[in-house]
Structure 1
Amino acid sequence: MHDAALRLEAVAKGYNLGTPGEVQVLRGVDLTIAPGETVALVAPSGAGKSTLLHIAGLLDTPDTGRVLIGGQDMTGRGDGARTAVRRGDVGFIYQFHHLLPEFTAAENVILPQLADGAGRAQAGARAAELLERVGLSARADHRPAALSGGEQQRVAFCRALANRPRLLLADEPTGNLDPDTSDRVFDVLMTLVAETGLAALIATHNMGLAARMDRVLRLENGMVVAA
Structure 2
Amino acid sequence: MSDPILNLRDLRKGYNAGKPNEVRVLQGIDLTVQAGEVVALVAPSGAGKSTLLHIAGLLDTPDTGTVAIRGQDMSALNDRKRTAIRRNDVGFIYQFHHLLPEFSALENIVLPQLANGATDAAARDRAMHLLDTVGIAPRATHRPAALSGGEQQRVAFCRALANDPVLLLADEPTGNLDPVTSDRVFAALMALVRQTGLAAVIATHNLDLAARMDRAVRLVDGRLVDGAA
Q: Shorter-chain TM-score category?
A: over 0.9
Q: Which runs of 5+ in 1 are unaligned?
A: none
SS of alignment partner, residue 62 of structure 1: coil
Which residue matches 1:205?
205
How many Å apart are 1:22 and its aligned residue? Answer: 2.0
Q: Indicate whether 1:121 and 2:121 are aligned.
A: yes
Give the distance between the partners of 1:71 and 1:122, measured in 2 at CA: 29
Which residue matches 2:109?
109
Contact 2:40/2:213 (<8 A) preserved: yes
Q: How many residues align?
A: 227
SS of alignment partner, residue 75 of structure 1: helix
Give the distance between the partners of 1:125 and 1:137, measured in 2 at CA: 11
Letter in 1 for 2:170: A
Cα-to-partner distance string for 1:144-187 (whole Å, 9 max, x where unaligned): 01000000000000001111111000000000000000000001
How many Å apart are 1:76 and its aligned residue? Answer: 3.9
Letter in 2 for 1:147: L
SS of alignment partner, residue 164 of structure 1: coil
- Equivalent positions of 1:77-156 (< 5 A) are 77-156=77-156
Give the distance between the partners of 1:123 and 1:153, measured in 2 at CA: 20
How many Å apart are 1:19 and its aligned residue? Answer: 5.3
Letter in 2 for 1:41: L
Distance 1:151 1:17, change over 3 A: farther
Give the distance between the partners of 1:219 and 1:172, measured in 2 at CA: 14
Q: Indicate whether 1:176 and 2:176 are aligned.
A: yes
How many Å apart are 1:17 and its aligned residue? Answer: 8.3
Cα-to-partner distance string for 1:20-70 (whole Å, 9 max, x where unaligned): 252110011000000000000011111100000000000000010000011
Q: TM-score, structure 1 length as denominator?
A: 0.97
Contact 2:218/2:226 (<8 A) preserved: yes
Contact 2:134/2:191 (<8 A) preserved: no
Which residue matches 1:160?
160
Give the distance between the partners of 2:121 and 2:79, measured in 1 at CA: 29
How many Å apart are 1:189 and its aligned residue? Answer: 0.7
Among the aligned pairs, what percent are the same residue? Answer: 71
Give the distance between the partners of 1:179 and 1:115, measured in 2 at CA: 35
Q: TM-score, structure 2 length as denominator?
A: 0.97
How many Å apart are 1:79 and its aligned residue? Answer: 1.4
Contact 2:110/2:127 (<8 A) preserved: yes
Give the distance between the partners of 1:218 and 1:127, measured in 2 at CA: 34
Letter in 2 for 1:118: A
Q: Indicate whether 1:63 and 2:74 are aligned.
A: no
Distance 1:145 1:19, change over 3 A: farther
How many Å apart are 1:71 and its aligned residue? Answer: 1.1
Q: Which runs of 5+ in 2 are unaligned?
A: none
Give the distance between the partners of 2:154 and 2:142, measured in 1 at CA: 13
Give the distance between the partners of 2:91 and 2:128, measured in 1 at CA: 18
Q: Indicate whether 1:50 and 2:63 are aligned.
A: no
How many Å apart are 1:120 and its aligned residue? Answer: 1.1
Give the distance between the partners of 2:94 and 2:18, measured in 1 at CA: 28
How many Å apart are 1:77 and its aligned residue? Answer: 1.9
Superposed CA RMSD in Å reads 1.2
Contact 2:168/2:200 (<8 A) preserved: yes
Between 164-173 and 70-79, the greater mean CA deviation after superposition: 70-79
Letter in 1 for 2:180: D
Moved over 2 A (4+): none
